[in-house]
Amino acid sequence: MPTPEIRTKDAPPAGRSAGVRIGVWGFALPLLCLALWYLVTGLKLVPPLLVPSPTATFRRLVGLFLHEHLTSDIGATAWRWGCGYILGCLIGVPFGLFIGNSRKVYAASYPTLDFFRSLPVTALFPLFLLLFGIGDSAKIAMAFSAALFVVILNCAYGALQAKETRLRAARVFGASEWQVFRWVVFFEALPQTLSGMRTSLSLCLVVVIVSEMFIGTQLGLGQRVFDAYTVNDTEKLYAVLVLIGLLGYLINRGFVWAETRIVFWTGK
Amino acid sequence: MSDRPLYIEIEHASKAFGEGQKRNVVLRDFSLDVRKGEFLTFFGPNGCGKTTLLNVIVGVESLDEGSVKMNGGTSRPRVGYVFQDYRGYLMPWLTVAENIAFPLRIRGVSKPERMSKVEAVVARFQFRIDLGAYTYALSGGQAQLTSILRALILDPDILIMDEPFSALDYQTNLSLYEKVLQIWEATGVTILLVSHDIDEAIYLGERTVFLTKRPASVAAVLESKLPAQKELTQMGSEAFASMKKQALEIFRREALEKSA
Ligand SMILES: Nc1ncnc2c1ncn2[C@@H]1O[C@H](COP(=O)(O)OP(=O)(O)OP(=O)(O)O)[C@@H](O)[C@H]1O
Ligand SMILES: [Mg+2]
């Protein structure tokens, strides 16, 4: 008695789309901010020395690219950012998953990790200077530390939250502990893992910029911000800040784009 | 039937969850023998401990007292398990095909081989199911069917089914009864099936075990009076009606005993 189709009592669950669409409205607020910026500077409500006009800022930004090797600064900052971030993820993800895989290990290490996560790495820059000197390695190490703890904690939490039912299903079908980890825990933790990686991506950029400002360097966006500040060149200051903001925003958007495709099943 | 060897021996099994005030005794002094190749159904009130009993049998839940021995304690049998909360036990990041093939993946079977086995088991059941779909997009019934096929993919020695047909419509149920019986006859697999539907329980089982309220113990065991060769029309037979009457007797006795 072949049944042509399975009839069921309940309908498929109405899934909510995981990612919120930005759409046209997402551009309304930035445009409003820009308009406000024009207004405030155009009506001379604040002295131009404190807030330069958008036109001057963007003109200056183009000038920085053309005459003041800004591309090399971006490159130098991106290199430190990328190195610190990638190292942090390479070590943090497996370590975090391992910690979250066992309730006992998680309970034993959580307070310590939370303590280190709560320490502002930027406040520890003297320590990094002592340990790594004034070169790139200190800045990379700072970015690495910032990424590391955020990634570890997120991965550990994600693994800890793995659904007991799915772990049980795998065990019933004969999975070893490693297979349970590889085929279930890893995927259960993946949404939280990526969310941690996204958070630490922005955090890492901030840390690299600040470390460049504090420690000093030849090339780097933080150094340009610092230069501008010391000579009261607010146009340049704003130009670099706008660039940093745009850079962080674009990378984050790219990450979100990839994330919703990788963990396509969340929120469904 | 008694010529078949003993397969599962549950002896004085006791199990409680929680401690102190919250201690919840789920199994108390539960004993039952299952023979190899037997089709056993369980029927009992909500929350009495049926799922816990099945989990104890397959060893994902441990006992406080007593023991469960399989196959004389010699080898670990292959288990196929259809979980009650079928959706919670499927992997949302895998397609239907990969969910069904999950037990094979654990055994290191290559992808092409997995897929051909999946196709074979689907063909055997003659169900139309979208193998490429993801499980979050399935209806409850399709998810349950995925879960059933996953349990069958390994040619299990023991097939555990915890209310496997609850989300399927009546017509699909009837067709699955036939399929399950067919598989049981062809392979000699031992089947333990929990059901909330008395007709289902006494139609399918060679024996139906009636459980008491929590903590679960055996209230009565009803031997099937149906002919060995089962047909759906037997649900309207004299023998079926008399079994159902016996079952009602058992309920009434249980209910009176508990309230007395
Ligand atoms: N992991 C657990 N931790 C604590 N209590 C549990 C656990 N699993 C089951 N229980 C409790 O044990 C009792 C029996 O649960 P079980 O799921 O075995 O009942 P059941 O007969 O399968 O119920 P149903 O008819 O709803 O399927 C319930 O009171 C339940 O709350
Ligand atoms: Mg149950």
Ligand 1 within 6 A of CB of B142? no
What residue's CA is closest to ligand 1, atom 5? B17
Who among B85, B88, B171 is closest to A3 (CB)?
B171
Q: For residues A35 and A54, what is the distance between their CA atoms, to the nearest angstrom? A: 9
Out of A18-22, A39-43, A222-226, B104-108, least confident range: A18-22
A5 has pLDDT over 50: no
Q: For residues A107 and A100, what is the distance between their CA atoms, to the nearest angstrom? A: 9
pLDDT at A8: 40
Size of interface A-B (CB pairs under 8 A): 107
Residue A138 amino acid letter: A
Contacts of B247 by beta carbon, 8 Å cutoff, 6+ apart = B43, B198, B202, B208, B210, B222
Q: What percent of chain A has pLDDT over 70?
A: 91
Ligand 1 within 6 A of CB of B50? yes
When pLDDT is averaged across residues A207-228 and rounded to a whole number, the result is 91
Ligand 1 within 6 A of CB of B84? yes
pLDDT at A160: 95
Residue B11, classified by CB atoms within 10 Å of its CB into exposed (0-12), middle (13-18) or buried (19+), is middle
Interface probe for B, chosen from A3, A261, A262 (most Cβ of B below 10 Å), is A3
List the single residue in B with minimal CA-CA distance to A163: B88
Q: Is B88 on the interface with A (CB under 8 A)?
A: yes
Out of A97-101, A188-192, B53-57, B217-221, least confident range: B217-221
Q: How many structural domains is chain A composed of?
A: 1
> B149 near B160, Cβ under 8 Å?
no
Out of A68-72, A85-89, A233-237, B170-174, least confident range: B170-174
pLDDT at A3: 39
Q: In chain B, what residues touch A10 (CB-CB under 8 Å)?
A: 139-141, 167
Q: What are phi and psi of A31, to 5 degrees?
A: -65, -40
Q: Ligand 1: which atom is nearest the Cα of residue B44? A: 21
Report yes or no on A183 lying in a domain.
yes
Can you say how many angstroms the Cα of residue A40 is from the centroid of all Cα atoms in its chain?
Answer: 32
Report yes or no on A210 lying in a domain.
yes
Report yes or no on A33 lying in a domain.
no
Give the Å distance between the CA of B236 and the centre of ligand 2.
28
A18 has pLDDT over 50: no
Q: For residues B92 and A260, what is the distance between their CA atoms, to the nearest angstrom? A: 14
Closest CA to B155 of B119, B116, B109, B121: B121
Mean pLDDT, consecutive 10-residue stretches, chain B (260 aa), reads: 80 90 89 93 90 91 89 82 91 96 95 94 84 90 90 92 88 86 90 93 93 86 86 87 90 70
Residue A203 token pair: 């955090």
Per CATH, the homologous superfamily of domain B1-77+160-260 is P-loop containing nucleotide triphosphate hydrolases (3.40.50.300)
pLDDT in tens, A74-87: 999 999 999 999 99
Report yes or no on A89 lying in a domain.
yes
What residue's CA is closest to ligand 1, atom 29? B47
Q: Is B152 on the interface with A (CB under 8 A)?
A: no
pLDDT at B191: 96
- Report residue A22's pLDDT band, with 50, 70 and 90 as the boundaries: low
Q: What are phi and psi of B26, to 5 degrees?
A: -105, -40
Q: Which long-range contacts (CB under 8 A, 24 or more apart) does A104-107 make?
A: A106/A156, A106/A160
When pLDDT is averaged across residues A132-158 and rounded to a whole number, the result is 92
Domain that includes residue A246, residue range: 54-266
What residue's CA is closest to ligand 1, atom 9? B52
pLDDT at B2: 59
Does residue B5 have a cis peptide bond before it, meaning omega lies within 30 degrees of 0?
no
Q: What is the CATH number of the domain that holds A248?
A: 1.10.3720.10
Please give the ipTM for the structure prediction: 0.87
Where in chain B are the domains? 1-77+160-260, 85-156
pLDDT at A6: 40
B160: DSSP letter: E
Closest CA to B167 of A11, A166, A268: A11
Give the Å distance between the CA of A139 and the centre of ligand 2.
56
How many CB atoms are closer than 10 A to CB A198? 18
